[in-house]
Amino acid sequence: MPAATWSQLEAYLASLPVATAAKLFTALETDRQHTVQSDQPDKAAFTSQGMPYDALMAVLRQRLIEEERMPTARVISARRVFFALFEPFLTPMRKGRKRVGRIARSSLSVIWQFIITHPLGKDAAATAKTFDEALAGHLSTQALSDHQDDLRGKMLIALGEAVSAIVELTNEDTAERQRMTRLFSTQLGGDAAGAGAVLDLAEIAQLVPQAEVFRLLKSEYPKTLSGFSEEAIFDIRRRYTEVCQSDPDIAIYVLVYFAGWLDAPWQAAHLVYAYEGMSDPDVPKLSDDAGVLMETLFVDMESVARALEQDVGFDLETGTAGAAFIWFADFANGLIDAARANGDGVRVNRAEAGRDVAVAALVRTCDQAKACLHAVTPRRPARGAMHLSAWCPDLEAEISVKTIEMAKAAGTFLVGVENISASLQRDVGGALFIADIRKEIEQYTEDVILEIRVSEGQVRERAKVLMAAVLDATKTILPEQTHGVLKARAAAAALAS
């Protein structure tokens, strides 16, 4: 991610209300390390494959520590340790058909329960229980003793054997496979999700024997990798070749691994252009598998674009909208830059189409944010008004805490719209849009101040309560000086007799 873009994102995260920051931190931690259990597992616009979790959480962690709001850390468990082997292949979003190297996090809980309760998983369940008991209270596998590390190894072997045996059984026994599919469908709330979980389990069984390969890749290629040297391109090809010789169907995962592991997954596009079109009798599938890697990158990018389009209200409520758009922009720009550098006009056009979807979503999100701010400036027709368009503050309206928090999140988002537009390389008129909203708010507060000044009794008290709510809700959208002036004028009006 470019330094300037990261600075914008860092500033945005640091500006979030502390409650929103805590919620976002927990969501990121859950998405990275745990199963996403939801009836809408795709409702996570910016927790896409490859999101730089560690960097984002570091900013939020510092903020929460300063506010003494840091969530309690979760202890490690057998389930977490086992599924951590497949971290680069886990995705919180899956729509449509099952894709290579994309295991839905929403499948993990039902898969785990199926393994440890299956007759063929008896030994695996016992070793997992022993491991959990030995690790009770630990927060990291880095502090494992030799004995505990030995237990970990035995547990992973037992789990791997159980998964392989279960998948082999379901491949041979139609009735058992149907039972598993029905169970998964019931637990995940749909036939498509259930069928996907069956395929996820089969893919895990394929990946288990190559766990050591992925462990080595993880140790040698950091998530923060900003590019691939010629040496790295050669080394990855060598590893691909070695796996291909033992199991050609699994070699593709050596490439797809990087789409899910890197903080900047679009960097993996450079591997595609290095290997595509390459003719090598030792690895005849390399070029085709490189194409699968590129398709994976594009589908991941397009999934984020669709999520931005569909989850406007959700993103604003959780305070993730700004980060979501910046993340998408970096993803799309990275793919476009790589395609242009290699004269690949078809892929440039495809990425541009995804960016157009995100721009349309940005416009809708701005409109939604404006509606959130209108919700904290309630109006009613002015009594005795000569024109139907005459409105005044509705002093009877009650503004809930949630409405105020939504307005704050909307304001935080809107002040970053110009930076988002620049990242998307599209002008959505953000400056004019924000100027108009600020003008409306300032005029509204002037009207409320007037009510405070000229009214008496309960009417005046209601006007003061409304003004306090409006000032609280709009402090993220108004310039600090403007907000301070309005606050001072409201205080002066309240003191006037």
Question: What is residue 463's DSSP assignment?
Answer: H
pLDDT, average across residues 222-230: 87
pLDDT tens, 7-17?
A: 566 666 766 66
Higher pLDDT, 287 or 11: 287
Q: Poorest-confidence range of 76-80, 195-199, 241-245?
A: 76-80
CB neighbour class for 279 (10 Å; exposed up to 12, middle 13-18, buried from 19)? exposed
Which pLDDT score is estimated for 127?
A: 94
Which pLDDT score is estimated for 30?
A: 61
Q: In terms of residue numbers, what domain contains 468?
A: 376-495
Residue 459 lies in a domain: yes
pLDDT, average across residues 442-458: 92
Residue 335 lies in a domain: no
Q: pLDDT class for 315, splitting at 50, 70, 90?
A: low
Residue 266 lies in a domain: no
Which pLDDT score is estimated for 443?
A: 94
Residue 21 lies in a domain: no
The first and second tokens of residue 4, run together, are 């300037």
Query: Above 60 in pLDDT, residue 32?
Result: no
HSE of 271 in the Cβ direction (CA atoms, 13 Å)?
36
Q: Annotate 164-205 with DSSP letters as a single string.
A: HHHHHHHHH-HHHHHHHHHHHHHHHTSHHHHHHHHHHHHHHH
Q: pLDDT class for 318, splitting at 50, 70, 90?
A: low
Q: Count of CB atoms within 10 A of residue 137's CB?
A: 6
Higher pLDDT, 106 or 19: 106
Q: pLDDT class for 1, splitting at 50, 70, 90?
A: low
Which pLDDT score is estimated for 34?
A: 41
Which pLDDT score is estimated for 47?
A: 40
Q: pLDDT class for 45, splitting at 50, 70, 90?
A: very low
pLDDT, average across residues 82-107: 84
Residue 31 lies in a domain: no
> What pTM does this model have?
0.77
Q: Annotate 114-162 with DSSP letters as a single string.
A: HHHHSGGGHHHHHHHHHHHHHTTT---GGG--HHHHHHHHHHHHHHHHH
Q: Which neighbouring-strand residues pair with 393? A: 379
pLDDT, average across residues 236-254: 92
Question: What is residue 278's DSSP assignment?
Answer: -
Q: pLDDT class for 384, splitting at 50, 70, 90?
A: low
Residue 329 lies in a domain: no
Which pLDDT score is estimated for 97?
A: 76
Residue 264 lies in a domain: no
C-beta separation of 288 from 32 below 8 A: no
pLDDT, average across residues 56-84: 72
pLDDT tens, 97-131?
A: 788 899 988 889 899 999 999 999 999 999 999 98
Residue 68 CA to residue 340 CA, distance in Å, equals 47
Higher pLDDT, 42 or 147: 147
Q: What percent of the chain has pLDDT over 70?
A: 82
Total domains, the chain: 1
Q: Poorest-confidence range of 5-9, 150-154, 195-199, 372-376?
A: 5-9
Higher pLDDT, 35 or 385: 385
Residue 414 lies in a domain: yes
Which pLDDT score is estimated for 40?
A: 38
Which pLDDT score is estimated for 93?
A: 61
Residue 266 CA to residue 319 CA, distance in Å, equals 25
